[in-house]
Amino acid sequence: MNIAILFGGSSFEHEISIVSAITMKKVLKRSTLTYIFVTPQREFYLIDTGKINSKLFSSGEYKKSKQLFLKKGGFFTESMFGSKKVSFDVALNLIHGRDGEDGKISSLMEFFSIDFISPRMEASALSYNKLYTKFLAQSLGVKTVAYEYLSKNDERKISMDYPVIVKPVRLGSSIGVSIVRAKDELDYALDVAFEYDTDVIVEPFIEGVKEYNQAGCYTDRWELSIIEEPHKEEFLDFEKKYMDFSRDSQVLSADISTEIESKIQECFKKIYNPLFNGSIIRCDFFVVEGEVLLNEINPIPGSMANYLFSDFEGMVERVSKNLPKEQSITVDYQYIHSIQSAKGKA
């Protein structure tokens, strides 16, 4: 199978996307990989799979690669001899943050009729924005952590007790996130968050909370990963997550009861189906006094959360064979013809 790895993008998480993409070489061993890099300026380049490394991008050497152009049906190189289509079976969206998780790339893939593995536009919009994620979960009967919402021009006041955690609404990888233990620390934390986004959510910081990660997808059946309990201090900061995203070996299952495992899996299924069909996502849950709370949806998890699956590559192949299809619409201009005909008679 030939898989095109889309990575990079115009995002604060651009470098993490590069790490995730390079990791796929170690993970998708049976497949042929075609690397398509999206620059911060939103240009496309075809990267030599054998030469891909982080320095290629930090040095700007990627600019010597062939530039690609999107057309109906795929990516093309252009030369004096005409256009040549880049051959692959399916594209795997590995662009973290803006462009990849907000629906832009998904919209482009659908518009140009390219088969791709990723949340579709509606799923991207609801999971990229942490506030909308709360609304989605609430509508599906999945409980979430309590929160307050603040915009950049709002009065900087919150009603919940300290300590709290401040998060930019449209960012992942713990970028711009701060733990605030007292009222006099709130202003600085908001300044940090507003450097990255115009909106934030504030949640209670629960000391020592149990957190569990569940990844999966639906192909012709449910394919759920093991449930992982990430080992961390207070929370995974950017540096820890940067290293975390390069993982390529399977981790151990969390030591939890069958009851909690079932609750987590049921919540995951409610979130996933049918909105996220055609994608591999990870949901992060808190368990507080036996109650499962959705923390976040990761629509494009680091390294696609490959380390949570025993047969990740096989699952990718099965997802690619069960992608949602847009409805085919036939436009025959009958309405316009009827108007023209009526005017002709008049």
Same domain, 138 and 267: yes
Instruction: Give the pLDDT of residue 176.
Output: 87
Instruction: Give the pLDDT of residue 335.
Output: 92
Q: Is there a domain that residue 343 lies in?
A: no
Q: Is there a domain that residue 336 lies in?
A: no
Same domain, 139 and 102: no
Instruction: Give the pLDDT of residue 174.
Output: 78
Strand 164-168 vs strand 90-93: parallel, antiparallel, or unpaired? unpaired
Instruction: Give the pLDDT of residue 304.
Output: 94
Residues of the chain with pLDDT under 50: 242, 346
Q: Is there a domain that residue 340 lies in?
A: no
Q: Is there a domain that residue 325 lies in?
A: no
Same domain, 114 and 30: yes
CATH number at residue 27: 3.40.50.20
Same domain, 245 and 134: yes
Same domain, 132 and 48: no
Same domain, 258 and 186: no
Residue with structure tokens 């233990």?
A: 181
Q: Which one of 204, 220, 251 terminates a domain?
A: 204
Range of the domain at 111: 2-118
Same domain, 181 and 32: no
Instruction: Give the pLDDT of residue 175.
Output: 84
For residues 15 and 68, give the distance between their C-alpha atoms in angstroms, rounded to a whole number: 21
CATH number at residue 162: 3.30.1490.20
Same domain, 77 and 13: yes
Instruction: Give the pLDDT of residue 208.
Output: 85
Q: What is the pTM of this model?
A: 0.88
Interhelix angle 258-272/130-140, rounded to 10 degrees, is 110
Q: Is there a domain that residue 326 lies in?
A: no
Same domain, 216 and 197: no
Instruction: Give the pLDDT of residue 252.
Output: 80
